[in-house]
Amino acid sequence: MISFESVTKTYPGPRRSAADVVAVHDTSFNVDTGTITVLAGSSGCGKTTLLRMVNRMVAPTSGRVQINGDDIAHMNPVQLRRKIGYVMQHAGLLPHKTVAENIAVVPRLNGATRAEAKRSVDRMLEMVELSADMADRYPAELSGGQAQRVGVARALADEPRILLMDEPFGAVDPLVRTGLQQQLIDIQHELGTTMLFVTHDMSEALRLGHEIILLAKQGRIMQQDSPTRLVEQPANAFVENFLGLNAAEKALRTRTTADGRTMVVDAHGRPAGFLEQA
């Protein structure tokens, strides 16, 4: 379990005279082991700041973060990072290393031999469904979706128990994104990794999260719940707004088509899809 205990982060203002920026204010929550927890909220609400507290890329100004009861402030940050996977928006692949070398980075940093690292690379490429001949390509030769897959493969290569993801699928097109999301769900199911996933896209949050934490400015928690409960019982107007539940345009209706199927249409009568028995 990862627990955030009253964490606060203030950054110095952009200019010396300017006031300090409070990115996160007195936020506490837990992330259960073996689940996907999604931090959702608009841009600038402190998601990235909270995420980076876990691998000590950001040090809380006050409060503490514990992993399984151990305060990470007492751990060596470099060693800690090698045990925690991290995926960022544009994959952040090292441009001078091939796909295989990128995936092998953490195993090698952790002392794996070349042969061991090679086995990890093969296993990970298979897991993210990239063909083996991708291994020798450089990041500049990959599509956005492929780069993200490599990013995920790299983060998971040394089988970390925790994976941090910062809007990893934000820059890929919707079709590819859906594929990547499904793949992530499958991988998490298979490995049981504890995942903390940041997004500003509510549909992504609902799709991926076992647990969703909806944040307002300065990392204030508006609601922490399962996707179902979040939609069924929004705690307040903020949550309703974020989900778009009270927006008239989001209202969906059904209509029976000529061939007898049930079609879902939006407020403007445009088709959104067909209804199937859940």
Partner 1 sequence: MNWVTNNLETILSALGWHVALSVPAIVAALLCAIPLGWLAHRLPRYSGPIITGSGLLFAIPSLPLLILLPVITGAGMRDGINVVIALTLYGIALLVRSVADGFNSISSETRLAATALGYSGGRRFLTVELPLAAPIILTGLRVVTASTIALCTVGAVLGIPSLGTLFTDGFQRQILAEIITGIVLTLGLAGLFDGLLVVLGKMLMPWQKQVA
Residues lying near ligand ADP in the complex (CB under 6 A): 11, 21, 23, 41, 43-49
CB of 90 to partner 1, least distance (A): 6
- Residue (95 or 260) nearer to partner 1, CB: 95
Residue 46 site contact among partner 1, Mg ion, ligand ADP, none (CB < 5 to 8 Å, cut-off depends on kind): ligand ADP
Rg (alpha carbons) of the chain, rounded to whole number: 21
- Residue (158 or 167) nearer to ligand ADP, CB: 167
Enter the DSSP assignment of 181.
H
Residues 48-77 that bind Mg ion (CB under 5 A): 48
- Residue (8 or 66) nearer to ligand ADP, CB: 8
CB of 185 to ligand ADP, least distance (A): 23
Identity of the residue numbered 84: I
- Residue (125 or 212) nearer to partner 1, CB: 125
CB of 18 to ligand ADP, least distance (A): 10
Please name the residues in contact with 277: beta carbons below 8 A apart, sequence gap of 6 or more.
none
Helix ranges (H only) for the chain are 47-54, 77-82, 99-109, 114-127, 144-156, 174-191, 202-208, 227-232, 237-243
CB-CB contact of 209 with 38 (8 Å): yes
* 3-class secondary-structure state, position 219: helix
Kind of pairing, strands 211-216 and 194-199? unpaired
Residue 94 site contact among ligand ADP, partner 1, Mg ion, none (CB < 5 to 8 Å, cut-off depends on kind): partner 1
CA–CA distance, 187 with 167 (Å, rounded to integer): 17
Residue 177 site contact among Mg ion, partner 1, ligand ADP, none (CB < 5 to 8 Å, cut-off depends on kind): none
In Å, how far are 18, 113, 194 from 92, measured between CA atoms?
A: 32, 24, 21
Residues in contact with partner 1 by the rule CB under 8 A: 55, 57, 78-83, 86, 88, 90, 92-98, 105-106, 109, 138, 140-141, 154
- Residue (82 or 207) nearer to partner 1, CB: 82
Q: Return the bridge partners of 196, or none.
A: 37, 164
Residue 86 site contact among Mg ion, partner 1, ligand ADP, none (CB < 5 to 8 Å, cut-off depends on kind): partner 1
CB-CB contact of 151 with 87 (8 Å): yes
CB of 62 to partner 1, least distance (A): 23
Q: Return the bridge partners of 4, or none.
A: 29, 65
CA–CA distance, 234 with 243 (Å, rounded to integer): 9
Residue 140 site contact among Mg ion, partner 1, ligand ADP, none (CB < 5 to 8 Å, cut-off depends on kind): partner 1
CB of 219 to partner 1, least distance (A): 20
CB of 262 to ligand ADP, least distance (A): 38
Q: Return the bridge partners of 264, or none.
A: 254, 273
Kind of pairing, strands 220-225 and 211-216? antiparallel
CB of 226 to partner 1, least distance (A): 29
